[in-house]
Structure 1
Amino acid sequence: MASLKKVLFLSVLSRIFLILYTILCGIVNTDYDTSGHKGSIISSLIRWDSIWFLGISESGYQHEQAFAFFPGYPIFVKIMSSFTHLSIPLCSVIISNTSFVLSSLVLYELGKITLHDEKKAYRSFLLFLITPSNIFMSSFYTESIFSFFTFTGCYLIQNFQFVGKNRIRSICKLILSIVFFTLSSTIRSNGTINSGFIIYSLFLALKNWILSQRNHHQQQEKKKTEKSKNNRSQEKKKTTQNKNKNKKKNKKENQERKKKQQEKPKQNQKEIENENAKLKGKITFFSLLIIVSKVILVSLIIVISLVLIFSPNVYFQYKAYLKFCKGSTIKQTPEWCLLKIPSIYNYIQLKYWNVGFLNYWTPLQIPNFLLAAPMIFCILVALIRYIKNDYKRFLTLGIAKSGRSKIGFFSNDTFVYIFHLMFLGFVGLFFMHIQVITRFVTSSSPVIFWFLEDYLSDQKVHKFKKAILLFWFVLYTFIGPLLFSNFYPWT
């Protein structure tokens, strides 16, 4: 059985190896593009988009293109540099690698409560250590810190309940999960879709609470009916005893007593039925009132969480609007300022990076599609396998539970992550630069590692397919730092 100490040790060891290997690759080889960041031993970790983050941390948003990158990560790096007086590149490497170690710990703990199997959780964690996007997890990129905020938010909101001994602790965890998901939306734009975890968990908790209330009322009704039956049986016993005592008495007296004794149970039974009907009406009205209040409370929490999680994105867009549209010294007003909903982020993604629906689906991008092919394969197979195993659960949005599998990738608790993966896959495949999909998914979705663990553990899967997948992990882990550190294009 694994322990947190072992998980922590392996996580730290993997980061030490990757940093040293990347630095060595940068020293031994000559950069393809020599215009990158230089001047320190860790400069091999400051490549491509890292240069944008470095510029934002040092000087803020000086150029329009810089608004393609969210401010959360550069702000954290800047704050750390101010307090520790360490260089910004060094602070970025410390934050990224610390975040990766913390993400590993959280992924392991999240796996235990979601998969309900510690061994599967541990094997999933091992796959995370050799993730194909490894180089981006240790460099001046958002992948590691985004993973940490997202995985932690998921861990805190998992199995949220309104009732029980730990309901106060659950509410505290709910508040913290909203905080972490809000932090994730300061790092990357897709942090806003983490609000789906909050919405799903609250509605699931509400559904479970309503079912528990109904079961509780049914048990109470059974107890009342059993009690009334016992009362009637006792009345019958008394009547039989009275019959035996009054055998020697006059027939007329016996007849009168029999009539009275027969009328009494009927009256008692009618009184009990009337009381039960009144009580049942009160319970129904009272329970309905509680359910309505709970629904209002859940809706209010959802609205508050949505406002908080989306607020960094809205504020970021608003600051850009003030800079370029309202208080601009530029002679010509930018095009996006004239839109009904001005959004500099969407405008820049389209103008400078050609991000849009099917914009990347051209013959020239076939090599990048091949580079992303393993991740596309994993997403498709994960969705197909899950839906085949329990299509009812999938089609009913997790309401219907077949109970086919209570542990592992097909656990009931992995359902929401499947929908999350499906959304990420759709956006990555049809809207983004396709080669980015590998690091986009592996830094956002824990279920991809749960699927791979299940796939590699499945005896029905051919060994050759398993070997190819493991080779993909190892190859990208080793070739990624080699190409990235020398400014060669890499995912």
Structure 2
Amino acid sequence: MKLIPHHESRPLQSLIAVFAAWKGFLLAIALGTTVSQDYDTSTSLFFEHAYGSSANASALATRLTRWDALYFMQAARHGYVYEQQWAFGAALPLSVRGIVWLLGPLAHLAGDAALEPVVAIVLANSAHLAAVLALHRLTLVLFGNKTLAYVAAVLHILSPAGLFLSAPYAESPFACLSFIGNLLFAAGLRPSATVGKRMLAFVGAGILFGLATSFRSNGLLNGLLFAVEALKCLLGFVRQPSVSRLALLASLIIGGLSIAAGSVVPQTVAWFRYCNVDPADGMEPRPWCSRLIPSIFTFVQSHYWNNGFLRYWTPNQLPLFVLASPVLTLLIESGLDVSRRFGQGLGRATPVVGEPYQTFVLTLGVIQTLVAVLAITNFHVQIITRLSSGYPVWYWWIANSLRNGETRKTGSMVVVFMVMYAGIQGGLFASFLPPA
């Protein structure tokens, strides 16, 4: 645990200090790459096209607007123009556009500056800090252990997602909304709370998870939390019917539907644009419009980005599987370990405080494991290093390893790996070099 010292009387101030130091380190790496030429000219072309050749783009904005961030910023600036852009969640571009609009009266102060990337960078870093504090609070609620809470939050700061959590990407807002959603869901599990408060907590959690899903589609898996708790509530109602159990069940259903809405609403907007068209106007419905489930997201991911079952399993992608293997191992091992220790939380050293949270933590472990498996079978596997940032179980697992004499060495090695990976990846990302 000496690897991550902390100030027990001021944990939040300590976390903010660690956060600032780590961000300073990563952003310094990004700015340091300005001494070399970009591997790709897409960023300069984007700024010239979106803002004109005389636009004032800060060095940090250009270094962090890389890879998928270009699609997010194009959508924030011009909306969704091309079909393939719908592979990227609408929430980040809409949030950036909304903030820029609110800043409209102050726009003259920025002159000809490129605002959207700067706003997105500030949003990403603010959301990351909020996620750190939310994870700290969530860990305290579930485990009642201050040291575990602090170390888990620091591990989220040091996430191998690295600069992706500072760049115009959806990972930081997703983690923030997911952790706060988990915190609200845990509040809904407290049997000492009134039924009304528990209902509000479940519905609020569903809304936050729905918003998280609008940033990243893998947020849909959070619906498992509601499905499991709804099943428990239904079984309890069958055994002993009551108005309170029925009300809680209704709130869980509403929460689950809210998560689905995070995916359905953007899909519906796309359907009206591409499917509800008149051939007389020279427009034909797109091929996905006639499918049983007319999802533009699944079509675009498959057609333009080659996502799908085992599609990434080709010899030339083997290095990316090797690169992703440490994080995949951590996610799967920690998820399965929590499942094996059902009823003991993360083990006897750190039992979950109270029976109501045991199934909750178990389900979080299952969700995390499913994401890892899907990354292996269906996704571009290298993105797991940033997807992992939004799931808490593996942070708890590593934090607990650092507390245990038998596993402390392994936990310390994992922390060293996280720091090294994030630093190297930051330099590659800012230089527009793979992996992304």
Instruction: Please confirm whether the aligned pair reaches a TM-score higher than 0.5, indicating the same fold.
Output: yes
Cα distance in 1 for partners of 2:239, 2:332 equals 44
Distance 1:164 1:346, change over 3 A: same
Distance 1:322 1:80, change over 3 A: same
Match of 2:428 in 1: 483
- Number of equivalenced pairs: 400
What letter corresponds to residue 366 of structure 2 in structure 1?
A: F
Do the aligned residues in 2 keep the contact of 1:130 with 1:473 (CA within 8 Å)?
Answer: yes
Q: Does 1:31 align with 2:38?
A: yes
Q: What does residue range 171-186 of structure 1 map to in structure 2 within 5 Å? A: 171-186=199-214
Q: Does 1:193 align with 2:221?
A: yes
What letter corresponds to residue 429 of structure 2 in structure 1?
A: F
Distance 1:166 1:325, change over 3 A: closer
What letter corresponds to residue 32 of structure 1 in structure 2?
A: Y
Match of 1:324 in 2: 274
Match of 2:246 in 1: 296
One of 298, 306, 312 as aligned partner of 2:262 = 312
One of 373, 381, 386 as aligned partner of 2:325 = 373
Alpha-carbon displacement from aligned partner over 1:36-63 (angstroms, at most 9, x marks no partner): 2453222101000001001111111100
Cα distance in 2 for partners of 1:116, 1:135 equals 31
Do the aligned residues in 2 keep the contact of 1:47 with 1:484 (CA within 8 Å)?
Answer: yes
Do the aligned residues in 2 keep the contact of 1:97 with 1:137 (CA within 8 Å)?
Answer: yes
- Describe the SS at the equivalent of 2:241: helix
Distance 1:371 1:403, change over 3 A: closer
Cα distance in 2 for partners of 1:175, 1:305 equals 5
Do the aligned residues in 1 keep the contact of 2:152 with 2:399 (CA within 8 Å)?
Answer: yes
Cα distance in 2 for partners of 1:295, 1:50 equals 45
Cα distance in 2 for partners of 1:488, 1:479 equals 11
Match of 1:144 in 2: 172
Do the aligned residues in 2 keep the contact of 1:324 with 1:330 (CA within 8 Å)?
Answer: no
Distance 1:404 1:137, change over 3 A: closer
Distance 1:47 1:288, change over 3 A: closer
Match of 1:250 in 2: none
Do the aligned residues in 1 keep the contact of 2:338 with 2:345 (CA within 8 Å)?
Answer: no
Q: Does 1:40 align with 2:47?
A: no
Cα distance in 2 for partners of 1:338, 1:349 equals 17
One of 367, 378, 399 as aligned partner of 1:453 = 399
Question: What's the CA shift for 1:319?
Answer: 1.5
Distance 1:359 1:427, change over 3 A: same
Match of 1:359 in 2: 311
Cα distance in 1 for partners of 2:40, 2:185 equals 44
Do the aligned residues in 2 keep the contact of 1:198 with 1:302 (CA within 8 Å)?
Answer: yes
- Describe the SS at the equivalent of 1:77: helix
TM-score (normalised: structure 2) = 0.84
Do the aligned residues in 1 keep the contact of 2:199 with 2:248 (CA within 8 Å)?
Answer: no
Question: What's the CA shift for 1:69?
Answer: 0.9
Cα distance in 2 for partners of 1:311, 1:404 equals 33
Question: What's the CA shift for 1:416?
Answer: 2.1
Question: What's the CA shift for 1:301?
Answer: 2.0
Q: Which has the higher contact order (CA 8 A, sep 6+)?
A: 1
Match of 1:344 in 2: 296
TM-score (normalised: structure 1) = 0.75
One of 153, 156, 159 as aligned partner of 1:128 = 156
Alpha-carbon displacement from aligned partner over 1:125-176 (angstroms, at most 9, x marks no partner): 1111111101100000000000000000001111524753555444433332
Q: Does 1:433 align with 2:380?
A: yes
Which protein has the larger Cα radius of gyration, Structure 1 or Structure 2?
1
Question: What's the CA shift for 1:16?
Answer: 3.5
Structure 1 unpaired stretches of 5+: 211-286, 394-400
Distance 1:385 1:81, change over 3 A: same
What letter corresponds to residue 121 of structure 1 in structure 2?
A: A
Question: What's the CA shift for 1:289?
Answer: 9.5
- Describe the SS at the equivalent of 1:408: coil
Distance 1:19 1:421, change over 3 A: same
The CA RMSD over aligned residues, in Å, is 2.6
Distance 1:323 1:54, change over 3 A: same
What letter corresponds to residue 85 of structure 2 in structure 1?
A: A
Match of 1:94 in 2: 122
Q: What does residue range 60-99 of structure 1 map to in structure 2 within 5 Å? A: 60-84=79-103, 85=107, 87-99=115-127
Do the aligned residues in 2 keep the contact of 1:369 with 1:435 (CA within 8 Å)?
Answer: yes
